[in-house]
Chains A and B, each alone.
Chain A
Amino acid sequence: DTGVSQNPRHKITKRGQNVTFRCDPISEHNRLYWYRQTLGQGPEFLTYFQNEAQLEKSRLLSDRFSAERPKGSFSTLEIQRTEQGDSAMYLCASSLLRTPAFFGQGTRLTVV
């Protein structure tokens, strides 16, 4: 499978715990995006990378959120001190410059 891969697919965590998600983009894609989607809503942009550089972060990305893309390959999204409001689907997408993004199937986070 050469699509965008996200792990884990589901994560249940207790409030206050830290969680980390991983995204493996399509191998030749230099752009990588993170979105968050809550039930009944469209995805909301969180951040994106071009190669290893993080070029933009949404105001939705509080200080508890951090994303990295070492060496411009896979990316991780970490949420520290999770809150119930963090429960959502976290989507990763990748693209080449000026091409549509391909999305992964997402990581569903439930904070209890």
Chain B
Amino acid sequence: SQQGEEDPQALSIQEGENATMNCSYKTSINNLQWYRQNSGRGLVHLILIRSNEREKHSGRLRVTLDTSKKSSSLLITASRAADTASYFCATDAGAGGTSYGKLTFGQGTILTVHP
């Protein structure tokens, strides 16, 4: 079953604009991860944020996590046409501080960046 729900389901923006995608989940987690998927390169890991972290940056990516609201957001700044892809959040519910690696994915946000 899908735990995460991404919002919006689809997002269309112009190159140079920022894109924000949100993810909500239902159970306690060890960490939350964001993946990108396009037809050319399959599923690619972008960033991991642990349950005791609130914000994380990687290049043009910024992820926030609010465990009290069971939600996360992914911000892509200064978007490029090459960012066009589906973006998925995935939760790892491994207990006791140990990541089990088994992921529960959301349904994804389809991002289209127009040149």
Interface, chain A (partner B; CB < 8 A): 31, 33, 35, 40-45, 48, 56, 91, 93, 95, 97-98, 100-106
With A41-B2, A91-B43 given, is the CB distance from A101 to B101 under 8 Å? yes
Q: How far is the CB of B109 from chain A (nearest CB, A)?
A: 10
Q: Pick the contact of B102 from A40, A45, A97, A106 — CB < 8 Å?
A: A45
Chain B residues positioned under 8 Å from A97 (CB to CB): 101
| Complex contact A43–B105 (CB within 8 A) | yes
| Complex contact A42–B105 (CB within 8 A) | yes
| Complex contact A105–B42 (CB within 8 A) | yes
Give the docked Cα–Cα distance between A93 and B45 (Å): 11
Interface, chain B (partner A; CB < 8 A): 1-2, 4, 33, 35, 41-45, 48, 88, 90, 98-99, 101-108
Number of A-B contacts (CB under 8 A): 54
Q: How far is the CB of A26 from chain B (nearest CB, A)?
A: 13
Give the docked Cα–Cα distance between A42 and B110 (Å): 11
Closest to A4 in B: B42
Give the docked Cα–Cα distance between A56 and B44 (Å): 23
Q: How far is the CB of B74 from chain A (nearest CB, A)?
A: 14
- 17 extra A-B contacts, CB within 8 A, seeds A45-B104, A91-B43: A33-B101, A41-B107, A42-B90, A43-B43, A44-B1, A44-B2, A45-B102, A45-B103, A48-B102, A56-B102, A98-B98, A98-B99, A98-B101, A100-B45, A101-B45, A101-B101, A105-B41
* 9 closest Cβ pairs, A-B complex: A42-B105, A103-B43, A105-B42, A100-B45, A98-B99, A43-B105, A42-B88, A42-B107, A42-B106
